Structure formats: structure tokens, C-alpha cells
Amino acid sequence: MSEENEKKITEENVAEEKTEVVKADNSILEEPTEERTDNAENEPLVSNESEETHTESVEEASEKEVDVQDEIDESNAEDAEDTETQKRHEIPFLDYHSMSMENLVGELQKLVRNEKVQAIRKHVDTIKDEFNLKFQDFIEQKKEDFVANGGNEIDFRYNSVTKRQFNEVYTDYKEKRNQYYKNLEKSHKENLAYRLELIESLKGLVNMEEDMNTTYKTFKEIQENWRNAGPVPRAEYNNVWRTYHHHIEIFYDFLHLNRELRDLDFKHNLEEKLKIVERAEALAVEPDLNKAFRELQVLHKIWKEDIGPVGKEHREEVWERFSGATKAIHERRQEYFKELDKLSEKNLERKNEIIQEIVKLSENVANNHRGIQKQIKHLEELRELFFKAGKVPQKENDKTWSSFKNAVRSFNRNKNAFYKNLKKDQQDNLDKKRALLDIAVSLKDSEDFETATNEMKRIQSEWKKIGHVPRKYSDKLWKDFKTACNHYFDRLHASKNDSYKEEMENLNKKEAILASLKDFKLSDKKESDIKEIQKMLEEWKVIGHVPFKQKNINQKFHKIVDALFNKLKVSPQESELLKYGNKIQKLKEEDNQEIAIQKERSFIKKKIEESKNEIIQLENNLQFFSDDSENNPLVQDVINRVEKHKEALDSWKTKLKKLNILRNNLEKEDAEEANDAPEEE
């Protein structure tokens, strides 16, 4: 064959095959598809990806006429760029939206440590978005709490250990990722250049002047070198493969010069492609839709990379069968996404219900600590239900999240307002309890048990009426108050025990004197008897208190004394003055005589005034009776009471006189001592 004729045949074949390649590679399936993530194999029937990454609805996708073939080609291009990237289909895509910040950090750390860095991009991006969303909400709440507690917003600082841990792990991921792609970029460029050289070699085969067997052998070597050439950038993958296949088919048409070799290859390729078609058609009824679509991707990859062209008479038919199987699986996916969108709508309804519950909660915040703590627990349960409710339609996501945050913040603001007022009340309570503590501390060592005991009981009663104080002070404040009170009452009880012993001793002494007094026999010597009685009076007076239940012993004693004085013909007034002599003697023995005498004088003057007032009042009452009513018992009673008060008045005046004499004598003694004191030079 002449060179001119060969060239003519070649050009015709090129023109024909360009049309065929475009038809095969760019065939548009009738049913549109959504743009889904390239890890479609592992997409669960209820997607676990975050709401921020929710893909467009079926209706939106239909409007865009997205080709499922493009989706498959894009995914296969990513896999071909680096075979390790295929592992992304095997890594579970968890429900990151429902996880806490701490759990998100743990999942990120697990991925970075255990998986290939190029296989976890989508996982890491989703985790990062979810973490930032939750952290922003968390930090805004902390800022609100800070301001609610009286802080200035510009002074707000918060050191989050969880955020620091996340940044460390994410930085580690970025460093590994950048280093990996930096090393990979050079290899991709070299592989791309090598594949382009192979294409040029393939193009040159149709113009080679050598026997066909040698040319075919060279062709097979080029095919083998192509298979081992290594990955290229995903952006170049489909173009390079289309160009390569285009020239493969040109070469096969060129092989009509050696029809036997060409037909053998066509037959083998047809058999392999029919196997692929049959497998694709079987996938249409595969129960696991994700598995079916992922395997379909692999079949397309084998179709493109591993199997050459078939004869012209079979090309359109076999491609149409493969496209039809692809379309059937695609339609199943569309139905799946429709159901997913319906589920998203239900999730939206549920989340809006939860938001309304939180709004209702925020509008009815309790007015006590226990009630609010119960509501806080309920809010946490609602938050957990919100995050577990699943994805909502993408167009509703921002609105839903914003409503949720605003409802939660509204509750927190109202809660903070309550605690802000509560803290003010608690501060007032703290000041009150501190004041009571100061009183308790001042009284704990008091010796005036009668006064101090009443005051201690009063402040204990007041303490119980005061409300809560800030927790950080309450324990120590109560401990200090309790310690002071216990210290005092321990002393009081100990004192009572000592006093009781002393009172019992006093009782024994008085019983002995009382027994002597009962046995006392009057003699014919009045003065001697009076002195003896006075002696027992003096002994009685110096003895202290007796137990309260036995205090009537004093009445018995004075009754016997009065009876003895009566036998000695001593008037009640004289008897009282004789008894008072003991009091005068006791005053003379006081350490601070002046104060003791002054107190006694004030007491006697008060009694004198009381007696005078009683006499005046009673005498005024007598004026209301007529002169002939002297025999009236009531009048007689008033007259007797007047006489008794007059006798008491005389007695008090006599006592005051004796007291004045005592004071004058003491003042005289002090003056004489001052005169006798030697002068200092």
C-alpha cells in the first residue's frame, strides 16, 4: 500500500473514531443526579455527615442535569491519583454532629494516627466544621456568663484545654498532609509527562514503516508501560485517558491491515466488557445500594483503564447496555436521596419541636436554685436530642442552628439574671452572718453567763433565719460560727457543773447552820443571844448560792431567825437592820468599795421612792371611802398595807443612813491616809 493511501485511510479512521470517542465518553444519561460526595460507597442510608455538608436536594440536582458519569469519573480520578486514597471509602463516616467537642478531638486524633493522611480529608473537614461550630457556641456562652457576673466584655479571656488539644492534632494533620502532597506533586508531574510521551509513541505507530507484527508488538509494550506508568494529577486524569483511548482506537482501525490481530483483541475486549456489563446489570438488584454504586465505580474504572476498544459493530450496543445498567443504579440512588430528603424534613420538624420546648423553658425559668438546676438538666437532655435528631435540609440548616442557639442563650440569660440577683442576696446574707460570727467570737469567752447565754441563743436563732451565702464561704463561715458557739456553751456547761458542785457544798454548809439555828436555845442574856444569832447570820450571808430547787432553805432560815428575834422582843425593823449589818460588813470587804456602795445606795433610794409612791397611792385610795367604813375589810387591808410600807420606808431610810455613815467613815479614813502619806522631794 502506498504511503498516500495509508495516510488517507488513517485520516478517515481518525475522523470516524473522534466521533465515536465523543459519543462513548460523553454519553449523557437521561436521568440527572445530585452532586454527592465521592465516598458514595460508604454513605449510610441515614447519612451521618454534618448538616453543613448536606448535599442539594433531588429537585435541585435535577435542575442542574448532573451526569452520574461525571460523578463516577471524578471519584475514579481521585482514586487514580493515589491508590491509598481509595481507603476513604473504608473509613466509617460517623455522626460527628452529635458528638461533644472532647469526642471530636478524640476521633480526629484517631484518624490522624491510624489512617493515611490523603484518605481522611472529608472526615477531617467535617470534624473541623463541627468542632468550630460547637466551640463558638461554647465560648459565646462563657462570655455571657462572664458579663452576667459583672465582668467587662473586653476583659474576657478563656483558656480552653479542649481547643488547644484540637489545634495541636489539626496542625499535625496539616503538616503531614502538606508534606505528603509536596512529595506527591513531583511524582505526578513526572508520570504525566511519561504518559504523554507514551501517547505520542502510540500516535506514531500508525506512521511506522515496519511490518505489522513488529508494530503490534510495540503497541503491546506501550500498553504495558501505560499500565505501570503511575498516577497523575486528578485534574488531568480523564483528559489523559480520553486521549489515550482515542489513539488506541485509531490504532485498532489501523490494524485492519492485519485484521487477524485486531479481531483477536476486539473479541477479547468484547468478552471482558460483556462481563462488566453483566456484573453492572446484576448490581441493579444489589440490596446494599452503597456497595452497588461503589462497585459500579470500579467497573467504570476497569472499563476505562484495563480494557481496550471493541469492534465498531458492537461499540454502541455494549456501551448502551453498560450505560443502561448505570442509569438503573443511578435511579435507585435518586429514590434513596428522595427518601433521605423526606427524612431530613422529619428531622427538621423534630428539631423545631425541640427548639420550641427550649423557648418555653426559657420563658418559664424557675425562681429557686433547685428548680433551675432541674431545668438545666432538662435543657441538657433537649440539647442532646437536638444533636441526635439528624440532618435537616441544607437550606434550613443555618436558620435551624440559629434558632437553637438563640433559644438556649435566652434560657441562659434568664438563668444568669436569677443567679445575679441571688448572688446579691447571698452577699447581703454573707454580711449578716459575718456580723453574727463577730458577736459569737466576742462572747465565746464571756464570764457573764446570764447575759451572754441569752445573746448566744438570739444570734443562733437569727442565723437560722438568714438565707444562703456564696458556696465558697458557706462551709468555713458555718464552721467558725459553730466553733465559737460550741466553745461558749462548753464553757457554760462546765461552769454549771462546777457551780453545781459549789452550790451543793453551799447547801451542805447552810443545812449545818440551819440545824444549829434550830437547836439554838435562848438564854436570859438578850444581848448575848442577839450576837450569837448575828454570828450565824454572818456565816449564812457569806455562803453562796444553793441549787435552785433547794433555794427555799433561805426562807426557812430567815423564818427561824425572825421567830427568835420575836422571842427576844426585837421588832421587825430592828431585826431587818440587824440583818443589814451583815450587808454593811460585806460592803466594807469589797475590793472596789466605792462602786459597791454607790450601787447599794442607788438600790436603796429606788426602794425608798417605791415605798413612798405606794404609800401615796394607798392613802389616795382611802379617800374614796367614807369615815364610817373603817370596819370594812377592804379598808382595813389598805390601812395595814400602808402601815407595812411605812415600816419598810423607815427601814430603808435607816439602811440608807447606815450606808451613808459607812461611806463617810471610809472617806474620812482615805483623807487621813492621804494626810499621813510622806511628801516626795
Domain total of the chain: 1
pLDDT digits (tens, 9 = 90+) for 382-393: 988 888 888 888
Residue 105 falls inside a structural domain = no
Distance between CA atoms of residues 75 and 77, nearest Å = 5
**What is the pLDDT at residue 677?**
47
Q: Is 363 exposed, middle or buried (0-12, 13-18, 19+ CB in 10 A)?
A: exposed
pLDDT digits (tens, 9 = 90+) for 193-251: 888 888 888 888 877 667 777 887 888 888 888 888 878 777 787 788 888 888 877 87
pLDDT digits (tens, 9 = 90+) for 459-484: 999 998 888 887 788 888 999 999 99
Q: What is the DSSP letter of 49?
A: S
Q: For helices 234-254 and 68-81, give the axis angle rounded to 10 degrees.
A: 100
3-state secondary structure 128-164: HHHHHHHHHHHHHHHHHHHHHCCCCHHHCCCCCHHHH
When pLDDT is cut at 50, 70 and 90, the band that residue 514 belongs to is confident
**What is the pLDDT at residue 352?**
92
pLDDT digits (tens, 9 = 90+) for 414-451: 888 887 777 778 888 888 989 988 999 998 888 888 88
Which amino acid appears at position 95 of this protein? Answer: D
Which of 45-49, 500-504, 524-528, 538-542 shows the lowest mean pLDDT across its residues?
Answer: 45-49
Distance between CA atoms of residues 296 and 333, nearest Å = 12
* Structural contact between residues 71 and 32, judged by C-beta atoms closer than 8 angstroms: no
- Position 669 pLDDT exceeds 80: no
Exposure string of 454-481, with b = 16+ CB inside 10 Å and e = fewer, is ebbeebeeebeeeeebeeeeeeebeeeb
* Structural contact between residues 373 and 418, judged by C-beta atoms closer than 8 angstroms: no
**What is the pLDDT at residue 200?**
86
pLDDT, greater one: 56 or 505: 505
Q: DSSP string covering 394-453, please? A: HHHHHHHHHHHHHHHHHHHHHHHHHHHHHHHHHHHHHHHHHHHHHHHHHHTT-S-HHHHH
Domain extent for 585: 576-676
Place of cell 442577839: 530
**What is the pLDDT at residue 80?**
55
Distance between CA atoms of residues 624 and 618, nearest Å = 10
pLDDT digits (tens, 9 = 90+) for 517-551: 888 888 888 788 888 887 888 788 778 788 878 88
Average pLDDT for residues 601-616, to the nearest whole number? 84
Residue 623 falls inside a structural domain = yes
When pLDDT is cut at 50, 70 and 90, the band that residue 83 belongs to is low
Residue 592 falls inside a structural domain = yes
Query: What angle is formed at CA 590 by the lines to CA 584 and CA 591, rounded to 5 degrees?
Result: 155
**Quick one: which H or E segment has residue 500?**
helix 471-519
Query: What angle is formed at CA 322 by the lines to CA 316 and CA 324, rounded to 5 degrees?
Result: 95
Distance between CA atoms of residues 662 and 597, nearest Å = 9
pLDDT, greater one: 618 or 38: 618
**What is the pLDDT at residue 356?**
93
**What is the pLDDT at residue 591?**
62
- Position 36 pLDDT exceeds 50: no
Average pLDDT for residues 118-139, to the nearest whole number? 86
Residue 649 falls inside a structural domain = yes
Altogether, the residues listed in the chain come to a count of: 681
Cell of 594: 466605792
* Structural contact between residues 43 and 37, judged by C-beta atoms closer than 8 angstroms: yes
When pLDDT is cut at 50, 70 and 90, the band that residue 38 belongs to is very low
Q: What is the DSSP letter of 31?
A: S
Residue 622 falls inside a structural domain = yes
Cell of 635: 379598808
* Structural contact between residues 100 and 388, judged by C-beta atoms closer than 8 angstroms: no
**What is the pLDDT at residue 106?**
92
pLDDT, greater one: 8 or 179: 179
pLDDT digits (tens, 9 = 90+) for 3-30: 333 333 333 333 333 333 333 333 323 3
Cell of 223: 500498553
Cell of 565: 428575834
Q: DSSP string covering 611-624, please? A: HHHHHHHHHHHHTT
When pLDDT is cut at 50, 70 and 90, the band that residue 58 belongs to is very low
Residue 605 falls inside a structural domain = yes
- CA atoms 301, 303, 304, 306: torsion sign: positive
Which of 65-74, 180-189, 659-668 has maximum average pLDDT?
180-189
When pLDDT is cut at 50, 70 and 90, the band that residue 65 belongs to is very low
**What is the pLDDT at residue 625?**
67
When pLDDT is cut at 50, 70 and 90, the band that residue 561 belongs to is confident
**What is the pLDDT at residue 291?**
81
Residue 620 falls inside a structural domain = yes
* Cβ atoms < 10 Å from Cβ of 175: 11
| Contact residues for 1 (Cβ-Cβ < 8 A; gap 6+) | 257
Residue 321 falls inside a structural domain = no
* Structural contact between residues 14 and 203, judged by C-beta atoms closer than 8 angstroms: no
When pLDDT is cut at 50, 70 and 90, the band that residue 632 belongs to is confident
Task: State the first-to-last Cα distance of the chain, in angstroms, to the nearest integer.
Answer: 162
Q: Report the percentage of the chain scoring pLDDT > 70.
A: 78
Which of 70-84, 252-266, 311-325 has maximum average pLDDT?
311-325
Mean pLDDT for the chain overall: 76
